[in-house]
Chain A
């Protein structure tokens, strides 16, 4: 499966995502520059973590205007797999590809720590390799990861089985403990925890592999 990792000015987990899928999963992978108007021949796109454009405004608020986001939108509407991690999640939300918003952590501080995630649905191309209810360990590292949406949206996400992960021990105040959500068509997922940082035992956990292996499995099925 060919992965594309998008590089915005200020992305800083781009190398890590590249390394995780390229080296630890042995998949072909390439960088896609932010002002590129096409994605090329990739099967899945990763919007990595970081601080796109410094995030001096609202996180992701400038990145959504990058030329590459038009291509990402098109790719997603054609059913392509799009994974946003941390800042990538924030950008997907700003771009309207996922509902809700990510606001400052309830403690108003950046938090870097390992968290436990409950897999809420296995019915998605990002979680199909997991069991519903399974616990995954992976790190978070963010200052603005508190998931927020109005009650109606939250109810809708639950009714449509679009909550991918919930925190077991909510670190940031996210409503209903939400750590990751799916788009209505289920081919776009955003999550605050970093699966690419958990792809080898030496990193402390390899539970993040589940996300990428699910994506690879989904591609085979297509």
Chain B
């Protein structure tokens, strides 16, 4: 084994010495490959594990926390939900359509491998600038390809894509982020785990055949991009959503036979990861014979077979003697199911070809004893100044609002979500852009689940700690605004190269901020994903932790964003809020109108945030809100406009009593604020007072038009139709 070969496998000399120590000898080429994928950053979390331990992971509803294929939460009535978010950033940059499609496929398998039927998907996407003269064309192509790939896979599989978020920054030019969240439901007693057990039990391979695609995909996802990255296109897999759909139905049906002991999908690191992880979790060994693995290419070496990341494959352990019950189900669905090995007692992953052992590694050491690094971290990287020259902050509210509504970040994402089937399975109570959080009913229990994704790279760049907390708060606020109680979270941590101390510092601070906020809101993290090395040619992305939080509520007609009728009081729950110039530098206004970034993200008071959320949940539960929408990107003015874009065409005239400069009043992004319209202003005020928050009546809904005044002075007045046209037409005009 030459040092060059070891280095090619992205293993350090120390890591190699550790491998030799575990084996008591030099590894074979196949074994080196196996270690290299299992100990890659993607599979082993070697740079982040130490800090991930700081996250809260338990709670009264948590059935399964991190460590399995997905987290599980008890939703009552004998049912649980399984959910998780995962990234597919690197593959999607190299091949947008298939990269995104297989990203959806991977997370769906994580859900149904737990025994849960996927009932909702959401996506958090980041792309480079669409209008950049140099990179714009490529960014538009990546956006179109990613959206088409998600649509292709999710629509065909038959899971609704019910929401998400999509933002644009120059830092994602060479490194888009594709984070996919999926959620499934099953009966509590039907949950399956990825654990092998029972010596002598057969190990069964089901689904698609193994090919040479995706070899070293996990390692690819653990390195920065260079000019040569395009040559890695063969590392990206090709998705087959029909196969996945059949695999779903067959697996759920096979699980019902009671003959399955444990099951895991073959995702990153394929056959290697599924065998050693199932063995390690169960404290047993697994022996497989590669000759029996269904292959779609001839002459594959053990190295290739073990490292292939061909999609739509599952590995399961059945009870000995009941194999035929399992095979019968897979035959019915027209799928290949083959016994490729057996569970052993020796705790080893033993791989044979033609009866000869080609790899033999202790499963536990391989799966769970990967190197763990306490990487040095200093001050988080930030090149933005703390303050900005006063002159450049002046702006005109009248002109700025349509400009902001037309910006890629703030405009309607309808062009994207109309390409997704957001209704299949007929559980979607509130899909994209109808409410702040998507709502899916659980037909089996009569209750509903709300879900929200949020992340703001700009905020996190200015302060990773505060930015991560703001994302948690925003998700919880979105859920509360539809009346749901936030209960659990999943996270996707997208960062640059952790070997750079200033990037590692971003990761550490974001995790710590997130941990504090999740503890505060009692939303334990039940699983997630870390995606590091999001850098191209040495340029890192903004630190972009994306939160996915789920909440529970009763099934009912949702309180949606748009105003419904004229003459209603417009209440700003939480009040106009404070903002100084430092806290204005991360806003959409600063980005789009001033073209600058400075200062710190909006200030978050967790206590106050919680009180606002309790209040809105009580207001919604009491049926007092006719519409509800939280203030986020673009602040008060953008939120007010979005509330005015309903089919009824109702707008609002508001007059705000505040000392803030006009553009700050209109566009600052302080959290903990929710705009509602109500016919019961008195009762709303009483609830707000009970929770100790401000809730000024700032105006009234009107038949048409929208107007913002400050102490009777008009800051802006608009035709709704004009704003709506800008808001709905913007994204399509960029993409064309």
Q: Judge whether A139 and B425 touch: CB under 8 Å.
A: no
Q: Judge whether A12 and B555 touch: CB under 8 Å.
A: no
Can you list, as one digit per residue, whether each of A41-70 has a CB less than 8 Å from chain B (1) or not (0)?
000000001110111100000000000000
Known: A9-B333, A141-B155. A54 touches B240 (CB 8 A): yes
- Asked whether A184 is an interface residue with its Cβ less than 8 Å from the other chain, the reply is no
Q: Judge whether A109 and B557 touch: CB under 8 Å.
A: no
Give A145 Cβ to nearest chain B Cβ, in Å: 12
- Asked whether A202 is an interface residue with its Cβ less than 8 Å from the other chain, the reply is yes
Give B460 Cβ to nearest chain A Cβ, in Å: 32
Residues of A contacting B424 in the complex (Cβ-Cβ under 8 angstroms)? 12-13, 16, 49, 141
Residue of B156, B157, B241 contacting most chain A CB atoms (<10 Å): B156
Give B141 Cβ to nearest chain A Cβ, in Å: 15
Residues of B contacting A51 in the complex (Cβ-Cβ under 8 angstroms)? 155-156, 241-242, 245
Give B143 Cβ to nearest chain A Cβ, in Å: 13
- Asked whether B158 is an interface residue with its Cβ less than 8 Å from the other chain, the reply is yes
Residues of B contacting A139 in the complex (Cβ-Cβ under 8 angstroms)? 423
Residues of A contacting B151 in the complex (Cβ-Cβ under 8 angstroms)? 110
Q: Judge whether A12 and B426 touch: CB under 8 Å.
A: no
* Neighbour of B242 across the interface among A19, A53, A197, A201, CB < 8 A: A53
Give A3 Cβ to nearest chain B Cβ, in Å: 16
- Asked whether B495 is an interface residue with its Cβ less than 8 Å from the other chain, the reply is no
How long is the Cα–Cα vector from A203 to B428 in the complex, in angstroms?
7
- Asked whether B429 is an interface residue with its Cβ less than 8 Å from the other chain, the reply is yes
- Asked whether B422 is an interface residue with its Cβ less than 8 Å from the other chain, the reply is yes
Known: A12-B157, A202-B429, A202-B557. A111 touches B242 (CB 8 A): no
Chain A binder among B413-421, B564-572, B589-597:
B413-421
How long is the Cα–Cα vector from A77 to B333 in the complex, in angstroms?
30
Residues 5-54 of A at the B interface (beta carbon under 8 Å): 9-10, 12-13, 15-16, 19-20, 49-51, 53-54
Residues 168-222 of A at the B interface (beta carbon under 8 Å): 194, 196-197, 199, 201-203
Give B154 Cβ to nearest chain A Cβ, in Å: 10
Known: A19-B443, A54-B240. A9 touches B426 (CB 8 A): no
* Neighbour of A112 across the interface among B240, B420, B425, CB < 8 A: B420
Q: Judge whether B555 and A202 touch: CB under 8 Å.
A: yes
- Asked whether A152 is an interface residue with its Cβ less than 8 Å from the other chain, the reply is no
Name the CB-closest residue of B to A14: B158
**How extensive is the interface on chain B, given as a class?**
20 to 34
Q: Judge whether B423 and A197 touch: CB under 8 Å.
A: yes
Known: A51-B156, A54-B241. A112 touches B421 (CB 8 A): yes
Q: Judge whether A12 and B420 touch: CB under 8 Å.
A: no
How long is the Cα–Cα vector from A111 to B148 in the complex, in angstroms?
11
- Asked whether B441 is an interface residue with its Cβ less than 8 Å from the other chain, the reply is yes
Q: Judge whether B423 and A112 touch: CB under 8 Å.
A: yes
Residues 208-250 of B at the A interface (beta carbon under 8 Å): 240-243, 245-246
Give A101 Cβ to nearest chain B Cβ, in Å: 20
How long is the Cα–Cα vector from A139 to B431 in the complex, in angstroms?
13
Residues of B contacting A202 in the complex (Cβ-Cβ under 8 angstroms)? 429, 441, 555, 557
- Asked whether B334 is an interface residue with its Cβ less than 8 Å from the other chain, the reply is yes
Q: Judge whether A55 and B156 touch: CB under 8 Å.
A: yes
How long is the Cα–Cα vector from A11 to B429 in the complex, in angstroms?
22
Give A59 Cβ to nearest chain B Cβ, in Å: 11
Can you list, as one digit per residue, whether each of B286-305 has a CB less than 8 Å from chain A (1) or not (0)?
00000000000000000000
Residues of A contacting B422 in the complex (Cβ-Cβ under 8 angstroms)? 112
Give B157 Cβ to nearest chain A Cβ, in Å: 7
* Neighbour of B245 across the interface among A10, A111, A143, A203, CB < 8 A: A10
Residues of A contacting B421 in the complex (Cβ-Cβ under 8 angstroms)? 110, 112, 141
Give B207 Cβ to nearest chain A Cβ, in Å: 14
Give A58 Cβ to nearest chain B Cβ, in Å: 15
Residues of B contacting A113 in the complex (Cβ-Cβ under 8 angstroms)? 418
Q: Judge whether B418 and A112 touch: CB under 8 Å.
A: yes
Name the CB-closest residue of A to B157: A12
Residues of B contacting A112 in the complex (Cβ-Cβ under 8 angstroms)? 417-423
Residues of B contacting A54 in the complex (Cβ-Cβ under 8 angstroms)? 156, 240-243
Residues of A contacting B557 in the complex (Cβ-Cβ under 8 angstroms)? 201-202
Name the CB-closest residue of B to A20: B426
Residues 141-172 of B at the A interface (beta carbon under 8 Å): 148, 151, 155-158
Known: A15-B425, A141-B423, A202-B555. A10 touches B155 (CB 8 A): no
Q: Judge whether A9 and B419 touch: CB under 8 Å.
A: no
Name the CB-closest residue of B to A15: B425
Name the CB-closest residue of A to B117: A15
Give A212 Cβ to nearest chain B Cβ, in Å: 14
Give B96 Cβ to nearest chain A Cβ, in Å: 15
How long is the Cα–Cα vector from A143 to B441 in the complex, in angstroms?
26
Give A104 Cβ to nearest chain B Cβ, in Å: 13
Q: Judge whether A196 and B418 touch: CB under 8 Å.
A: no
* Neighbour of B246 across the interface among A9, A16, A111, CB < 8 A: A9
Residues of A contacting B156 in the complex (Cβ-Cβ under 8 angstroms)? 10, 12, 51, 54-55
* Neighbour of B158 across the interface among A13, A20, A53, A199, CB < 8 A: A13
Give A62 Cβ to nearest chain B Cβ, in Å: 10
Name the CB-closest residue of A to B555: A202
Give B243 Cβ to nearest chain A Cβ, in Å: 8
How long is the Cα–Cα vector from A15 to B428 in the complex, in angstroms?
14
Give A195 Cβ to nearest chain B Cβ, in Å: 11
How long is the Cα–Cα vector from A18 to B420 in the complex, in angstroms?
23
Give B121 Cβ to nearest chain A Cβ, in Å: 13
A: residues with CB less than 8 A from B are 9-10, 12-13, 15-16, 19-20, 49-51, 53-56, 109-113, 139, 141, 143, 194, 196-197, 199, 201-203
Pairs A–B under 8 Å by Cβ, sample size 6: A16-B424, A16-B426, A19-B426, A53-B242, A112-B418, A197-B423
List 8 tightest A-B contacts by C-beta distance, closest first. Answer: A12-B158, A54-B242, A51-B156, A141-B421, A16-B426, A110-B419, A10-B242, A112-B421
Question: What would 17 more interface pairs be, CB under 8 Å, given A9-B334, A196-B426, A203-B428?
Answer: A9-B245, A9-B246, A10-B246, A12-B156, A12-B157, A13-B424, A51-B156, A51-B241, A51-B245, A53-B242, A54-B242, A109-B148, A111-B418, A112-B417, A112-B418, A139-B423, A203-B423
